[in-house]
């Protein structure tokens, strides 16, 4: 990339990704679970049993009932947010550039996640997982995320189903997985997303589109070249064809959105004209919360 990635990080402070619950963490963290543990968040009472920590006895309740009860607090674990970035050649396109915007979104969401004590992993590929940053924890890891993302590029013919399938080996159940792609893979996306759901991932889909894809400015006779395969097609851009194209673009994004909605997956179409942080803050009520 021409310039290092940079964001207005201060606007992202005190935000965290929303999870629907049922997380399975491996270390102590800040995400409440349905299990009981040692956090400060009260969950329930149960009768005192020999061996219970006497510091957890509710003496005020004993004074009213003359029975000993132990306070149970909710367990808190770390969560893991996995980012899957489509780095096929079609993402190396647009002004603003789709690939750069995708990396800016990963950078912003990684900043939010690490600051809220979640773990972050990042993988990129066109047809398979090609480059992978294993899960990192804590604000001190943000520099590694930034360096990793600044080293990335976009090339090759994509297969989104194959790419999503190649991640199964590095995922654990009950994590969040964020998919960033332009969804221009000829083979579609459904098989890969079904696999991720079967792997018990909570999914967030970020569908990137550049302005010239949403509203082409080309007119007259042109030779269109597929940036991934090199195939060419001669066309004449006239009003009727543009109208059909716009309908096809809307239908494509609507089909992905409907697929996600039916399965409880958050879906967002991201017009890359919008700054990454502005886009996330606009989407905040659905996917972000204040700490």
What are the tokens at 61? 């309740």
CATH number of residue 200's parent domain: 3.40.50.410
Residues 63 and 205 in one domain: no
Residues 139 and 247 in one domain: yes
Residue 3 lies in a domain: no
Instruction: Name the H helices within 97-204.
Output: 98-115, 142-150, 160-165, 190-198
Residue 2 lies in a domain: no
The pLDDT value recorded for residue 25 is 47
Residue 97 lies in a domain: yes
Domain range for 252: 9-22+78-290
Residue 65 lies in a domain: yes
- d(CA 44, CA 82) in angstroms, rounded, equals 32
Residues 48 and 127 in one domain: no
The pLDDT value recorded for residue 106 is 98
Residues 125 and 202 in one domain: yes
Q: pLDDT per residue over 241-259, tens digit each?
A: 899 999 999 999 999 999 9
Q: pLDDT per residue over 160-183, tens digit each?
A: 999 999 999 999 888 999 999 999
Residues 43 and 138 in one domain: no
Residue 225 lies in a domain: yes
Residues 182 and 278 in one domain: yes
Residues 135 and 245 in one domain: yes
Share of the chain above pLDDT 90, in %: 61
Q: pLDDT per residue over 39-51, tens digit each?
A: 444 445 568 777 7
Specify the pTM.
Answer: 0.82
Residue 226 lies in a domain: yes
Residues 38 and 89 in one domain: no
Residue 179 lies in a domain: yes
Residues 111 and 136 in one domain: yes
164 exposure class (CB count in 10 Å sphere: 0-12, 13-18, 19+) = buried
Residue 1 lies in a domain: no
> CA geometry: angle at 260 spanning 153 and 170, to 5°?
50
Number of structural domains the chain divides into: 2
């Amino acid at each position: 990339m021409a310039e290092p990635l940079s964001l207005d990080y201060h606007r992202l402070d005190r935000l965290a990704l929303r999870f629907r619950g049922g997380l399975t963490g491996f270390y102590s963290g800040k995400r409440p679970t349905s299990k009981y543990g040692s956090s400060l968040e009260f969950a329930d009472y149960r009768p005192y049993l020999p061996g219970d920590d006497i510091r957890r006895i509710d003496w005020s309740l004993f004074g009213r009932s003359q029975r000993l009860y132990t306070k149970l607090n909710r367990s808190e674990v770390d969560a893991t947010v996995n980012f899957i970035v489509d780095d096929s050649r079609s993402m190396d396109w647009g002004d603003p550039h789709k690939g750069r915007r995708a990396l800016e979104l990963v950078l912003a969401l990684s900043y939010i996640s690490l600051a809220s004590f979640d773990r972050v992993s990042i993988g990129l590929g066109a047809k398979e997982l090609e480059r992978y940053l294993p899960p990192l924890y804590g604000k001190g890891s943000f520099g590694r995320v930034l360096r990793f993302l600044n080293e990335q590029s976009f090339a090759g013919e994509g297969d989104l189903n194959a790419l999503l399938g190649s991640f199964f080996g590095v995922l654990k159940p009950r994590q969040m997985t964020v998919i960033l792609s332009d969804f221009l893979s000829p083979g579609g996306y459904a098989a890969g997303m079904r696999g991720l759901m079967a792997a018990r991932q909570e999914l967030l889909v970020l569908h990137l589109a550049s302005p010239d894809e949403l509203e082409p400015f080309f007119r007259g006779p042109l030779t269109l070249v597929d940036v991934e395969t090199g195939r060419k097609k001669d066309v004449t851009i006239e009003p009727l064809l543009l109208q059909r194209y716009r309908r096809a673009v809307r239908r494509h994004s609507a089909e992905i959105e409907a697929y996600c909605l039916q399965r409880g997956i958050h879906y967002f179409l991201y017009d890359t004209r919008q700054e990454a942080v502005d886009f996330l803050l606009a989407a905040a009520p659905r996917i972000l919360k204040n700490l």
